[in-house]
Structure 1
Amino acid sequence: MKLRKVTAASAAVLALAVAATACGSSDDDKDSGSSSGGGKKVTIGIKFDQPGLGQKTPQGYSGFDVDVATYVAKKLGYSENQIEWKESKSADRETMLQRGDVDFIAATYSITPEREQKVDFAGPYLLAHQDVLIRSDDNSIKSPSDLNSKKLCSVTGSTSAQNVKDKLAPKAQLQQYPTYSACLTGVQNGAIDALTTDDSILAGYASQSQYKGKFKLGGFKMTNENYGIGVKKGSDLKAKINTALEAMVSDGSWQKAVDKNFGPANYKNEPAPKIGDVKS
Structure 2
Amino acid sequence: MAEPPARQPWPAPPPPQRPLPGTRLWRTLRGWRRRGLLTIRRLGCGLLVVVVVVVAGLVLLDRTLDGINAMFGEEPVPGSPLDTVAPTTPASSGSERIDLITRRDRLIIGVQEMPGLVEREQATREYSGFDIALAALIARELGVDPADTAFKPLPDGYRESALVNGEADLMLGGYAITEARRTEVGFAGPYLRSPQRLAVPAGNDGSGADVLAAGTVCTAEGSPTALALAPRLGERLITRGSLDSCARLLGSRADALAGSALALSGQRAQDPGAFELIGSPLGETRYGVGLPPGDEVLRHRVRDVLRRAVEDGTWARLYAQYLGTPVPAPPRIGG
Fold match (TM-score > 0.5): yes
1:199 aligns with 2:261: yes
Q: How does 1:59-138 map to 2 (within 5 A)?
A: 59-135=125-201, 137-138=203-204
Deviation string for 1:96-122 (max 9, x for gaps)?
Answer: 222222221123223334433433221
- Give secondary structure in 2 for the equivalent of 1:133: strand
**Contact in 2 for aligned 1:132/1:195 (Cα 8 Å):** yes
Cα offsets for 1:46-96 (capped at 9, x unmatched)? 11x433333444232234332322332234333331101122333223322
Which structure 2 residues correspond to residues 1-280 of structure 1 after superposition, within 5 A? 40-47=105-112, 49-58=113-122, 59-135=125-201, 137-141=203-207, 143-155=208-220, 160=225, 164=229, 166-167=231-232, 169=233, 179-184=242-247, 187=250, 190-191=251-252, 193-208=255-270, 211=272, 215-218=275-278, 220-232=280-292, 233-263=294-324, 271-276=329-334
Is contact 2:176–2:224 with CA below 8 Å preserved after alignment? Answer: no
* Deviation digits for residues 225-255 of structure 1 (CA, Å, limit 9, x no counterpart): 2211122212412111111112222333323
Whole-Å separation in 2 of the counterparts to 1:151 and 1:129:
20
The answer as to whether partners of 2:178 and 2:223 remain within 8 angstroms in 1 is no
One-letter amino acid of the counterpart of residue 104, structure 1: L
Which residue is 2:52 aligned to? none
Larger Rg: 2
CA spacing shift, 1:96–1:161, aligned 2, 3 Å:
closer
Distance 1:147 1:123, change over 3 A: same
Whole-Å separation in 2 of the counterparts to 1:197 and 1:94:
20
Q: CA RMSD in A?
A: 3.8
TM (norm. structure 1) is 0.66
Instruction: For residue 158 of structure 2, give the secondary structure of its aligned residue in structure 1.
Output: helix
Offset of residue 163 of structure 1: 5.0
Distance in 1 separating the partners of 2:234 and 2:298: 44
Question: Could you tell me how far 1:176 is from its partner in structure 2?
Answer: 5.7
Question: Does the CA-based 8 Å contact 1:128-1:226 persist in structure 2?
Answer: yes
Question: Structure 2 vs 1, CA of residues 238 and 39 (structure 1 numbering), >3 Å: closer, same or farther?
Answer: closer
Structure 1 residues 69 and 271: alpha-carbon distance in aligned structure 2, compared to 1, 3 A threshold: same
Amino acid at match of 1:180: L
In 2, Cα distance between the equivalents of 1:229 and 1:122? 5
Aligned sequence identity (%): 27
* Equivalenced residues, count: 237
Paired residue type of 1:52:
G
TM-score by length of 2: 0.57
Letter aligned with residue 153 of structure 1: C
Residue in structure 1 matched with residue 47 of structure 2 by the alignment: none
Is the 1:124–1:227 contact (alpha carbons within 8 Å) kept by the matching residues of 2? yes
Q: Distance in 2 between matches of 1:247 and 1:137?
A: 44
5+ residue gaps in structure 1?
Answer: 1-25
Distance 1:119 1:159, change over 3 A: closer
- Counterpart of 1:118, as a letter, is E
- Confirm or deny: 8 A CA contact 2:140 2:146 kept in the other structure: yes
Query: Would you say the 8 A contact 1:129–1:221 is kept in 2?
Result: yes
Secondary structure, counterpart of 1:236 in structure 2: helix
Q: What secondary structure is seen at the aligned counterpart in 1 of 2:283?
A: coil
Higher relative contact order (Cα pairs below 8 Å, separated by 6+ residues)? 1
Distance in 2 separating the partners of 1:226 and 1:253: 19
Larger deviation: 50-59 or 242-251? Answer: 50-59
The structure-2 alpha-carbon separation of the partners of 1:87 and 1:171, relative to structure 1 and needing over 3 Å to count, comes to: closer
- How big is the shift at 1:201? 0.9
SS in 1 for 2:280: coil
